[in-house]
Amino acid sequence: MLRAMSSENYHELPELLSEDTKNMHRALVSLREELEAVDWYQQRAEGCSDDELRAVLTHNKNEEIEHAMMVLEWIRRHSPTFDGNIGTYVNSKGPILQIEANQTGGGESSGGSAPQSASPSLGIGSLRERV
């Protein structure tokens, strides 16, 4: 039996999909695989009883993180929505849910998760068109 390829994981007929969507699918699948590998190496390293093997596994885990970030950067460059959200949340400061409340102007309706001092904004943010 042939092993399933990523192209067989499409949820729509491939002939209905653009090349851009197919490439994004490849990138997203690749990102998922890299992150799974990080998880696996993390667990193996922690469960390992040999120090040298643990060091190798940890090294490999860190390599997978690098691979994941390279793929994520490709995704960011090809998806304005990823780009916008990465710009908003990655390297941000303060409570993460407050950042979302500030973005959407929904600070008072965010289920009470935002701190009382959070002020709802009009959600203007950056108006620069993403190329």
Partner 1 sequence: MDLLKRKRAPITPEAWEQIDEEARRVLKLHLGARKLVDFSGPHGWKLGGVNTGRLNAIHKGPVPEVQHAVRDVQPLVEVRAPFVMKILELDYAARGANDLDLDAVIAAAERVAFAEDNAIFSGFKDARIKGIIEASPHAPIGVNTNLDWPRAVVEGKDVLRAAGVNGPYALALGPKAYAELTADSEDGYPLRQRIEANLDGPLVWAPALVSGALLLSTRGGDYELTVGQDLSIGYAFHDRENVELYLTESFTFRVLEDTAAVLLRRA
Least separation in angstroms between residue 94's CB and partner 1 is 5
Q: Does 11 help bind partner 1 (rule: CB under 8 A)?
A: no
Residue 90 sits in the site that holds partner 1 (CB under 8 A): no
Helix axes 80-89, 96-104, angle to 10 degrees: 130
Stretch that binds partner 1, among 31-39, 43-51, 70-78, 95-103 (CB under 8 A): 95-103
Residue from 43, 62, 92, 113 in contact with partner 1 (CB under 8 A): 92
Residue whose C-alpha is closest to residue 85's, from 130, 42, 52, 121: 130
Does 81 participate in binding partner 1 (rule CB under 8 A)? no
d(CA 88, CA 103): 8
In the complex with partner 1, the residue whose CB is nearer, 9 or 113, is: 113
H helices of 1-131, in order, are: 19-47, 51-78, 80-89, 96-104
Give the separation between CA 6 and CA 95, rounded to whole angstroms: 36
Structure tokens at 83: 């780009």
CB of 109 to partner 1, least distance (A): 10
Q: Which residues bind partner 1 (CB under 8 A)?
A: 87, 92-94, 98-99, 102-103, 105, 107-108, 116-129, 131
